[in-house]
Amino acid sequence: MVRTEISLFLKNVPGELGKLAALLGEAGINIDALTIQDASEYVQNLFKARGRSLKRVAPAASYTSMQKDSAEYALIRLLVNDTEKAMNLLLKNEYVFDIMPVIAIQIENRPGMLAEISKKFGENAININYVYGSATEGSPKSLFVFCPEDIELAAKIFKDWA
C-alpha cells in the first residue's frame, strides 16, 4: 500500500522526540511507524550520491561544516494515521518537513518474509533506498516500510499486500 511518509529534522537533544510525540498524540494522531537516524549519516550519503557535481558548487570547507552541523540534528521518518492533519499541525508549529511516497506492507511475522519481499523487489529491478520495520514477538503481523526508487512499479507489484 502506498503511504505518505513525513521526514523532518529535530535537534539531537534530550526531550525533542517527546515533544513531537506529545504534539501528535494530543491531536489524536497515531504514529504507525517511525525511524530515527543521526542526520550526519544522511548528509554524508547525500554527498556520496551526488558525487562530483555537488563538489563543484561548494568548497570542501562547506562540506565539513555541514557534516559537523548535521550531527546536531536527527532525521525522523514517520507514518501516521492522518497525514494531512499531521502536516497541518507540523506547519502550525513551525517544523520543517518533507513528504515522500513509500510502500508500507503488513507481512506475516515469520522467518524469511523480509527475504521474500526483498527478492520480489530485486526480481523486478527495483532498488530499495531504505527500509524500516518492526514486529512484536508472538504477533501474527509486522509492518515494514520501503522507499523504492520506482514507487509506481512497486505499488503495482505489492497492491495485494496491504
Measured distance CA(58)–CA(47) in Å, rounded: 11
Q: Looking at the structure, do residues 89 and 106 belong to the same domain, yes or no? A: no
Residues 30 and 12 both lie in one domain: yes
Please tell me whether residues 47 and 19 are part of one structural domain.
Answer: yes
84 and 11 within one domain = yes
Single out the residue in 99, 119, 139 at which a domain terminates: 99
Q: Is residue 88 domain-shared with residue 51, that is, in the same domain?
A: yes
Boundary residue ending a domain (99, 121, 152): 99
Distance of alpha carbon 2 from alpha carbon 114, whole angstroms: 18
Task: Output the pLDDT for position 45.
Answer: 59
For residues 84 and 8, membership in a common domain is answered with yes
Residue 144 has pLDDT above 70, yes or no: yes
Domain count, the chain: 2
Q: What is the span of the domain harbouring residue 113?
A: 101-161
Residue 160 has a pLDDT of 81
3-state secondary structure of 1: coil
**CA gap 75, 109 in Å, rounded:** 27
In contact, 114 and 126? CB cutoff 8 Å: no
Average pLDDT over residues 5-9: 93
d(CA 102, CA 129): 10
Per-residue pLDDT for 30 more than 50?
yes
pTM of the model: 0.79
Q: What is the 3-state secondary structure (H, E, C) of 64-83?
A: HHHHHHHCCEEEEEEEECCH
Q: Residue 38: pLDDT band by 50, 70, 90 thresholds?
A: confident
Residue 29 pLDDT > 60: yes
Residues 66-115 pLDDT 10s: 455 556 788 899 999 999 999 999 999 999 899 999 999 999 999 999 99
Residues 79 and 108 both lie in one domain? no
Helix (H) or strand (E) holding 133: strand 128-135
Based on the fold, state whether residues 133 and 74 are members of the same structural domain. Answer: no
Q: What is the pLDDT of residues 14-27, one digit of tens each?
A: 999 999 999 999 99
Question: Is 138 in the same domain as 79?
Answer: no
- For the chain, what is the mean pLDDT? 85
Distance of CA 95 to the CA centre of its chain: 16
Q: Looking at residue 156, which CATH number applies to its domain? A: 3.30.2130.10
**Do 140 and 128 fall into the same domain?**
yes
User: In angstroms, rounded to a whole number, what is the distance separating the alpha carbons of residues 25 and 19?
Assistant: 10
